[in-house]
């Protein structure tokens, strides 16, 4: 059971990378094991949506529940000799490693607001802190509160501070976060 739509996002933590890359969906793949990393023939796949604001643990649980059900169905099909094997298309394959500290760094002006909001929500319970850079300032993010697609700024500043809440302006809007300047 692998929590991505193989052959995309092979590797140890595909849900992190789905959040990092801003995917609005991921999936579950039941595949056979071969000598490669997540490269065995596919038996069945199903898409799983990534709703706004979901945590990594919640997304992982959704994939695990769906993956468990698909695995039970697939084992039965294998037993009956009715399972179809689909070789993975290596031209469409991608592999992602374990995230490193730099993978938690975001330059807000190049990200869409929804993407930043969902990434922060998704990984805020990890040990590594998300750091957001905005026009020469660095923020350590504790959690995301909301996002908006407002295209007009009410101030000329890139970041507006309101106590512990900070509006971080992105490419297409803003994300309200609890943060501290670093």
Portion of the chain with pLDDT greater than 70, in percent: 92
pLDDT digits (tens, 9 = 90+) for 72-111: 999 999 999 999 999 999 999 999 999 999 999 999 999 9
Domain positions in the chain: 14-92, 101-181
Domain 101-181 sits in CATH at: 3.10.25.10
pLDDT at position 161: 52
> Would you say 114 and 52 are in contact if contact means Cβ atoms under 8 Å apart?
yes
The CA-atom distances, in angstroms, between 152 and each of 42, 56, 113, 133, 156 are 47, 31, 13, 20, 10
CA-closest candidate to residue 179, choices 167, 161, 164: 164
pLDDT at position 27: 98
pLDDT digits (tens, 9 = 90+) for 10-21: 999 999 999 999
Average pLDDT over residues 122-135: 91
Chosen CATH of 14-92 out of 3.40.50.1110, 3.40.640.10, 3.40.980.10, 3.40.50.170:
3.40.50.170
Average pLDDT, the chain: 91
């Amino acid at each position: 059971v692998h929590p991505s739509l193989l052959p995309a996002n092979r590797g140890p933590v595909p849900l992190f990378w789905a959040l990092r890359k801003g995917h609005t969906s991921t999936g579950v793949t039941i595949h056979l094991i071969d000598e490669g990393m997540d490269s065995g023939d596919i038996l069945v796949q199903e898409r799983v949506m990534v709703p706004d604001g979901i945590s990594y643990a919640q997304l992982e649980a959704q994939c695990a529940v769906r993956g468990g059900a698909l695995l039970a169905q697939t084992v039965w099909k294998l037993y009956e000799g009715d399972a179809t094997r689909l070789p993975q298309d290596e031209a469409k394959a991608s592999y992602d490693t374990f995230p490193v500290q730099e993978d938690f760094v975001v330059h807000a002006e190049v990200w869409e607001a929804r993407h930043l909001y969902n990434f922060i929500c998704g990984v805020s319970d990890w040990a590594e802190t998300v750091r957001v850079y905005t026009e020469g300032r660095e923020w350590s993010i504790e959690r995301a509160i909301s996002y908006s697609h407002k295209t007009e700024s009410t101030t000329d500043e890139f970041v507006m501070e309101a106590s512990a809440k900070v509006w971080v302006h992105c490419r297409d809007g803003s994300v309200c976060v609890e943060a501290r300047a670093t």
